Chain A
Amino acid sequence: MTKSAKPLHELSIAEAGALLRSGVVTATALTEHALARIAALDPLLHAFVLVTRERALADAARADRELIAGVDKGPLHGIPYALKDIYETAGIRTTCHSKLLIDHVPQADCAVEEKLRAGGAVLLGKLATHEFAFGGPSFDLPFPPARNPWHLEHFAGGSSSGSGAAVAAGIVRMALGSDTGGSIRGPAFYCGTVGLKPTYGRVSRRGIFPLSYTLDHAGPLAWTVEDIGLTMQVIAGHDPLDRASADVPVQDYRAALGQDITGLKLAYPRSFFSGVADLTPEVLASMDAAVETVARLGADIDEVTLPDFELFNACGRVILAAEAHAIHEKNLKERPLDYAAFTYMRLAAAVGLTAPDLTQAFRLRRELTTFVNVEIFGQHDAIITANGLCPAPRLDSFPVDVPPKQTLHTIPFNVTGNPALAVPTGFSPSGLPLGMQVVGRAFDEATVLRIGAAYEAAAGHVHKRPALELPIAV
């Protein structure tokens, strides 16, 4: 049954959900269409490392029977999605895109997958990542790196590379990623999707392979801000089995989306990124234009100064490297060549950090976090700032023998733990996506989504999709 006015893959979660409940489309049709798009597009994109076709079709058929019987499990019921391959899935191989875990089949689902299954969503498969959510893009791994749907010779971002590519290509409406230094927001920026790094502790990380205990965040990428809100409604919440999970009530994200932003006070730390050497003029122009749009929508913009980005970056990179090294120390010594070169180089280098280095990083973290929460969020409802500093680079522009340079401005909000939403702001002259971050108070994802949705509706970039079309049978 398929009578949608739009191609199925262009239906948002909200639109598909309404059509599922009115009987206009079925979960089986959505799933078969997505599987057909994987077959047609993924040989070019390399977004998936595993497709769970049979299980997806069985779960979709079950969702159809339940919906016909009047059983409604929530906004993701019958909606196909995919998981970054560091999310553990019972009985389904979870490799972390690494030779070290190439045969790893977990016994249990991670907490997020438990919630998605309980909500009747349909898992299509596991997505490409940088190895262990670090390193990359690497060509010396069991699977190739994902490619950017807007231009296949370009980087899809990382480490949630497959998540960004699969959403941008219209294979899934939503995919899960993880963000330790920008790994949700980076792929969202490069691939032109929305992506949310929720507040630290908002979404359980239980069963997600850790990169850095105090910086890791789990969250969604989607085509629209509304779909991020619908997903968060299902996956957010306290998990007593995740030591970092926060017992804080979950907001009504959908209710926040329709509200206008008149009178909201927004901080714009233009000097935080405008003088950085890697910043391209197109990103700066796009940021200024986005802020003007938000101001026209009624928000009060206040230019503010944040502490130097390099302090946030050094603080975050030292903590990340030390924690990641602790996790991988044994395998780095015993199986060095089973890691991709970039992963090994970055992980092993942390051996040069000292205990005082890490202690000083935690002290600085306290100082920076206090500044952001008191000085900025004491007077403002949100921050609007840059995400990536330049459009997606070509994959062949990366060095082969030394780890690539980072050109994202995302790690400050891993350091502070505030929620940060990546929102597309248009395109470079070469046709590659650009974007910004909307950052909020801790546990106030609703305001961040409200601002993102208002901007998205006003800007209209959401209507432009990658020109990737191949003949699709469905």
Chain B
Amino acid sequence: MTTQDDALERDFDTVMGISGFAVPPERRAGTLMAYRQMRQFAALLHGPRPATDEPSNIFSLEPFRRG
């Protein structure tokens, strides 16, 4: 196991604890693996983005216009 793996595992235990999750022991390895994959996905998202990439598509003004 690398230092990076150790750090990720410590991070996993801390985040799960703070969030109130008691991961069943028999599911820990699989959850940790899914957690590692989720962090890898997230790392791909943090590239430079233009200001036009504002995520305003999650809101709609349509109901207010109609009202």
Interface on A for B, CB 8 Å cutoff? 214, 310-311, 313-315, 317-318, 321, 332-333, 336-337, 341-342, 344-346, 348-354, 356-357, 359-367, 369, 401-403
Chain B contacts for A317, CB-based, 8 A? 38, 41
CB distance from A75 to the nearest CB of B (A): 32
Say whether B42 contacts A350, CB under 8 Å: no
- Cβ B34 vs Cβ A403 within 8 A: yes
Main secondary structure on A side of the interface with B: helix
Q: Name B36-59 residues within 8 Å CB distance of A.
A: 37-42, 44-46, 49-50, 52-55, 57-58
Residues of B within 8 A of A336 (CB): 21-24, 27
Report yes or no: A348 in contact with B45, Cβ–Cβ below 8 A. Answer: no
Q: How far is the CB of B63 from chain A (nearest CB, A)?
A: 9
Q: How far is the CB of A97 from chain B (nearest CB, A)?
A: 19
Q: Is the CB of B12 within 8 A of A352?
A: yes
Known: A314-B44, A351-B19, A366-B54. A360 touches B49 (CB 8 A): yes
| Pairwise interchain contact B45-A345, C-beta atoms closer than 8 A | no
Which residues of A lie under 8 Å from residue B22 when comparing CB positions? 333, 336
Contact of A345 among B20, B33, B52 (CB under 8 A): B33
Nearest-CB distance from B2 to chain A (Å)?
18
| Contact yes or no, A353 B31, CB < 8 A | no
Q: Is the CB of B49 within 8 A of A346?
A: no
Beta-carbon nearest neighbor of B53 in chain A: A363
Chain B, 12-30, contact with A by CB distance < 8 Å: what is the 0/1 string? 1001100111111011011
Task: Give the distance in Å from the alpha carbon of A360 to the alpha carbon of B42 in the complex.
Answer: 9
- Give the residues in chain B near A332, CB-CB below 8 Å: 21
B53 with A364: CB separation less than 8 A = yes
Give, as a whole number of angstroms, the nearest-CB distance from A228 to chain B.
28
- What residues on B are CB-neighbors of A360 within 8 Å? 42, 45-46, 49
